[in-house]
Structure 1
Amino acid sequence: MTDVSAMSSTEKIERGATAVHQVGLQGAVIDALPAEAVPATRAEAYAMQTRYAELEGQPTRGWKIAATSEAGQRHINVDGPLGGRVLADRVQGDGEAVSLSGNSMCLAEPEFVFVLGTALPPRPNLTPSTRLWRRWPHCTSASNCQVPASPMSPPPVHCR
């Protein structure tokens, strides 16, 4: 058995990303990562996502966000919203059919992509979601905010 406390963060990141990558290649299902691959910090988890994308050989085409509400955060036991990569081979074009063949979870959760008309300037000490909400201050979370449909449409956005 591996002594988890003696592992470097780099080694843990590599093991976690490799474990998830291998599961995908095998078409297998696991209940959890092996203990030696569980990220100890949010930074390790995001580094693991980066390494996973490298192993997949896929560029990141966008980002999704989870746990945007306190109820959602409690449901998955996290302390704030989580960002996740959308890899190129997971993006479907408008009107493209999506096969659910082999979908062991028997569900689909589509992500909708919005292209911003202008890039958000980098700002230190802000999370990606904070940058979005500062750009459109009328929105308090992803769940109560509707971004304009056209990528060229400027703010303000329409909040419910």
Structure 2
Amino acid sequence: MSDEKRAARAAEALWAAWTSGERIVALPEEIRPRDDAEGFAAQLAMGAHAGRSYGWKIAATTPAGQAHIGVSGPLPGPLFERFRHDPGDVLASDDMHMRVVEAEFAYLMGADVPPGAGPDEVLAAVDGLHLAVEVPDSRFTHFETVGAPQLLADCACTGRFVLGPEVPGWAEHDLATWETSVWINGERAATGSGGNVLGDPRNALAWIAEDLHRHGRGLRAGELVTTGTTTAPVPVGPGDEVRADFGELGEVSFSFGR
């Protein structure tokens, strides 16, 4: 079986689990990605099913997150338009598996990032910064143990995403020390800061620019990059009201259906 066919069949299997709500223990051995490159190829093949993507997420940007899912570093994954939401929306809850939310900083790219670009050049390509909340999810029953190649094929646990307001004067703020918190049903559930994202969300942006080029891709103008959770992932359930508080920068609020 060709590598292209293996990737396509892996994407088909994962999409079937995504749309049915059933979880799988692992991909069948004959189509299971054997390394990161094959996992990323399967991830790209998911677009034939999920539709248009508008940017990227970064999973496991903290040592605790990496240890939790058994990987040695962050993982990139696509953001799909069909799972994008606005503040105030009511998100479906009946298909959630991981059942967590994450408060994040998301960069909007204003220019393509050329191969080999350094951190300053990557940051210079940014057009804006948004506040956001990711609702990650996985198609695997035990996503913590399947390993990086299969997690990459599973789009690095991408799920729903709530894009919040743009931050005026974003470049003036030191996000590495910027405090954040997540509130569930009016009670504070977690606190953190931008420093939990590889030390600084700008570091995460530079990391994904380099990693995508390693896979033969690159950051493009108009793409959004959400850089990873600033707090520990916060458990949620049906009917919960979520508010991610970024202090004077603003907030992102939404709820889950019952």
Please give the TM-score of this superposition, normalised by the length of structure 1: 0.68
| Counterpart selection for 2:42 from 12, 37, 48 | 48
Q: Does 1:32 pair with 2:20?
A: no
Of residues 75, 84, 108 in structure 2, which corresponds to 1:82? 75
Pick aligned residue for 1:71 from 64, 69, 82: 64
The structure whose residues are more often helix, as a share, is 1
> Once superposed, what is the RMSD of the aligned Cα atoms?
3.1
1:102-141 deviations in Å (ceiling 9; x for gaps): 43x26133564624363353223x7xxx8589639xxxxx
Match of 2:100, SS? coil
- Structure with bigger strand share is 2
Q: Does 1:101 align with 2:94?
A: yes
Paired residues of 1:114 and 1:149 also in contact (CA < 8 A): no
The amino acid that maps onto 2:52 is P
Q: Does 1:19 align with 2:13?
A: yes
| Aligned equivalent of 2:108 | 116
CA distance in 1, matches of 2:120, 2:52: 22
Which amino acid letter does the alignment assign opposite residue 36 of structure 1? E
C-alpha separation between the residues in 2 aligned to 1:86 and 1:16? Answer: 18
- Unpaired stretches in structure 1, ≥5 consecutive residues: 1-6, 137-147
Task: Note if contact 1:114-1:151 (Cα within 8 Å) is conserved in structure 2.
Answer: no
Give the letter for the 2:58 counterpart: I
- Residues 1:98 and 1:112: Cα distance change in structure 2 (over 3 Å): farther
Taking the aligned partners of 2:18 and 2:171, their CA distance within structure 1 comes to 39
1:74, 1:43 → 2: CA distance? 21
How far did residue 45 of structure 1 move? 1.2
CA distance in 2, matches of 1:46, 1:88: 19
The answer on whether the counterparts of 2:57 and 2:78 sit within 8 Å (CA) in structure 1 is: yes
TM-score where L is the length of structure 2: 0.45
CA shift digits 1:8-33 (9 cap, x unpaired): 32222112101011222333221221
The alpha carbon displacement at 1:43 in A equals 1.7
Q: Shift of the alpha carbon at 1:71?
A: 3.2
Taking the aligned partners of 2:171 and 2:3, their CA distance within structure 1 comes to 42
1:142 match: none
Q: Which has the higher contact order (CA 8 A, sep 6+)?
A: 2
Query: Secondary structure, in 3 states, of the residue corresponding to 1:85?
Result: strand
Q: Moved runs in structure 1, 4+ residues, more than 4 A?
A: 110-113, 130-134
Measure the CA separation in 2 of the matches of 1:117 and 1:26.
Answer: 34
- How many equivalent residue pairs? 137
Distance 1:88 1:110, change over 3 A: farther
